Amino acid sequence: MKQYRHKKNLSFCYQITSQQWGGYKERAYAALSKVTIKPQSEQYFFDHIQQNYPLIYNAIEWAKFHDYSYKLKERPKFKFRQVIVNLKASPLARNLLFKERENITIATSWYPSVTGSRVLLNNKKWHSNVELKSIGDLISILPLENSEEIIENGEKKLTGTSFKLQGSKGSIMLDSGYHGKGVEKNGYSFIFLSHYHADHSGGIKNAVERNPTIPIVTSRTSFAYLEARSRTSVPSSVKNKFLTNGLLPDKIKSIFFDDNCKYEFFPIYHSPGSYGIRIVDSKDTYVTFLGDVCLKNGFHDAYNEVLRRICGQKGKRNYVLMDCAMVNKKDELDVEDSPATIFKRISEEGTKRNIIILSDQPENLIYSYMLTFSISSKFNELKHVKIIVSEKLYKLIQTLLEPLIFGTEGYRDPIANSIVGDTKMNFIETHRLYPLTEEVLKEIPSSEKCIYFIEKWHLKENYFKTLVNKSDFIISGKMATRESYQQELFGGKKETDKITRILPRSILCVNSEDWYFHSKKSDVIRFIKDLTQEKITTLLFHLPYSDLMNFIKKNGLDENYVNVIGANGFTLETTT
C-alpha cells in the first residue's frame, strides 16, 4: 500500500484505503453525523492537528485513513471517514486526542481513533537461508549441563539444561545450559533452543563463539529476548549470528531428508515462543525433546494435545526427554484463586488504586497482562485504565502480535491465542499500553490509577518508589514463596536490605499449581504412565540423578520404560 507524507515531515507516514475499519463504530457514527462541512483531504486533517494540537502532531508515528460506506443495524448505509492514529508513548498526547476527537471530527470531517505505538511488523525475521542437515541414525544422548551443582574457581554454580544428541552423521545441541559447558568446537550440526530462560539459553554465547557458522533454531520471541540481554551475556557478534544463522521453527514446522530422517517442531507451552523438537531416523527411532513442557496450569490445558502429538505417530523405538523440575516442589502457597479470578478482581479494582503485579517469571507477567487487558476491555469504566509494563516485556509481547491480530502465517502462541480468542483485540497497539519509563510516569497525574506489570529491579528506581505507597501488590512466581524476598522488597531489617522504605497497601502472594509454567508432579506422573502404556521410554532430567531415581521408585513407575539421564548419558537402542 502506498505511503504518503504530510508536506515535508519525515517523522511519520500515512496510508489511504477504502477498506472498512474493523473496530467499534458507534462513537464514530455519532461524531460524523454532526459534521456540516464538506469532506476534507488527509492533508487538511494534518494541517488542522499541526496548527491546533502540536502536542498530538509531534507524537504521531503513523496514520491510516479509512473512507468507506457501512450499514449499522436498523440504519441506512452511512459514509464513514475514520483515521487510525498511532501515537508515541505519551499519556498527555493520547489523552488530548481522546478528549478532543469529536471536536476534531467536526473541524476536519475525519473521525480520529487513538491507538498506541505502532509495531513494526516483521522488523527482524531471524529466518536466514542456512540449511539444516540430517544427523543420521540416532546413537546416544549426552548431558553437557544437567541441573547439577558444580565447583568452579572455588565458587558453587548450578548448571542448566543442555544435551548433545549424537547421530551417525552429526549431532544436535539441545539447549545451551547456563554456561555453555562442554561445548565442542565445530561439533554440532545445529543448536536448538527450546526457550529463552537462562538455564536453557545462557550458554548461547559460548556455543556460538565456538561454532560461528552453526544454524540456531528458536522462536522469534526467544531471539528477541536474547537480543535484549546485555552485551556481556550476549555480545553483538553473537546477536549478529541470530540474523545470519537463525531459523524459526514455525517457518520450518517439519523437514525431511533423503536418508529418511526427519525433524519436527511444535509448541510446549512453557513460555512465549517455547518449542519442542522430534527427531526421527531411518531405523524408525523417535526422540522427542519437550524442553520444560507445561502440560497444564491455570492459563492453559495442553495435556491431551502434547500426548496426542507423541502417541499419534510412533516408531519402533520411542524416547521422550521429560522435564521433572517440579516433582520435589514443596514451596507451593495454598491459594485457590485461578489467574482468571485474580485478574478479574484486578481489573475491577483498577479505577480505585494502583495495582502492581511483580514476578520473576516473564511468562507470568506477559500472560497476566493479556488476561487483564482482555477482561478489563469488556467493562466501559475500565476500557481506558492505563496498563504499564516493563520495557523488556513490551518488546516480547510485540513478537506475539502479528499472527494473532492480523492472521498472518507464523507462530501463534497457543496461550495468547486462547486468551485473545477470535476477538482479534490489538493488545499491543492499544492506546492503554505504555512501556515503564520515567518519561511516561511524569505525564501521568498522581491521582490517576494504573495497572503495572514489573520486574524486581524497578523497585530500585527512584521514579517508581513513590507509586508503591498505597498500591496493591500481587507477587507471583518463585519469589512469592520466599519470605526473604518480601523482607528485601518491602522493609528488610538492615538498611541495605531495603529497596524501598514505602509500604504497599496490601500484598497478595500467589504460587499455586495454576501459576506454574513447569508441569506439576501429578501431571508428570500421569503423563509418564500414559507414555508407558504406549511402550514409550521416558528419560527424566532437571533434578539430581538420585532425586529422580527416588521419584521413579516412590511412585511405582515402570523402570523398563522410565530412566534418568545421568552423568554418562543414555545409549539409544539401535536394533533394526
3-state secondary structure string, 213-235? CCCEECCHHHHHHHHHCCCCCCC
pLDDT on residue 378: 78
CB atoms under 10 Å from CB of 487, counted, come to 14
pLDDT on residue 497: 45
d(CA 517, CA 535) in angstroms, rounded, equals 27
Helix (H, G, I), strand (E, B) or coil at 274: coil
Q: What is the pLDDT along the chain (576 residues), one digit of tens a residue?
A: 899 999 999 999 999 999 998 778 999 999 999 999 999 999 999 999 999 999 999 999 999 999 999 999 888 999 999 999 999 999 999 999 999 999 999 999 999 999 998 876 555 578 888 999 999 999 999 999 988 777 666 777 778 999 999 999 999 999 999 988 888 888 899 999 999 999 999 999 999 999 999 999 999 889 988 988 877 889 999 999 999 999 999 888 899 999 999 999 999 999 888 999 999 999 999 999 999 999 998 888 999 999 999 999 999 999 999 999 888 875 454 555 677 777 777 767 666 788 899 988 888 888 888 888 888 887 777 788 899 998 888 878 777 766 665 555 556 777 777 776 655 567 778 899 999 999 999 999 988 889 999 988 888 888 887 788 778 888 887 777 766 666 667 664 444 444 445 578 888 888 777 777 889 899 999 999 999 999 999 999 998 899 999 999 999 999 999 999 998 999 997 654
Q: Which residues contact 302 (CB under 8 A, 6 or more apart)?
A: 267, 269, 293, 294, 295, 296, 414
Q: Which helix (H) or strand (E) holds 529?
A: helix 521-533
d(CA 441, CA 90) in angstroms, rounded, equals 9
pLDDT on residue 421: 63
Q: Which residue has 485457590 as its cell numbers?
A: 336
Instruction: Say if residues 467 and 356 touch (Cβ distance below 8 Å).
Output: yes
pLDDT on residue 34: 96
pLDDT on residue 364: 86
Cell numbers at residue 552, please? 521413579
The pTM (predicted TM-score) of the whole model is: 0.84
Nearest to 162 by CA among 138, 183, 184: 183
pLDDT on residue 331: 46
What are the CA-CA distances from residue 136 to residues 42, 142, 170, 284 (Å)?
61, 16, 7, 11
d(CA 23, CA 421) in angstroms, rounded, equals 16
Q: Which helix (H) or strand (E) holds 83?
A: strand 78-87
Half-sphere exposure of 469 (CA within 13 A, CB side): 8
- Sorted by where each starts, the structural domains of the chain and their CATH numbers stand as 13-115 (no CATH), 138-329+517-571 (3.60.15.10), 339-511 (3.40.50.10890)
Residue 503 is classified by DSSP as P
Nearest to 385 by CA among 93, 91, 111, 85: 91
Half-sphere exposure of 117 (CA within 13 A, CB side): 15
pLDDT on residue 496: 46
Instruction: Say if residues 564 and 547 touch (Cβ distance below 8 Å).
Output: no
CB atoms under 10 Å from CB of 96, counted, come to 17
Amino acid at 252: I
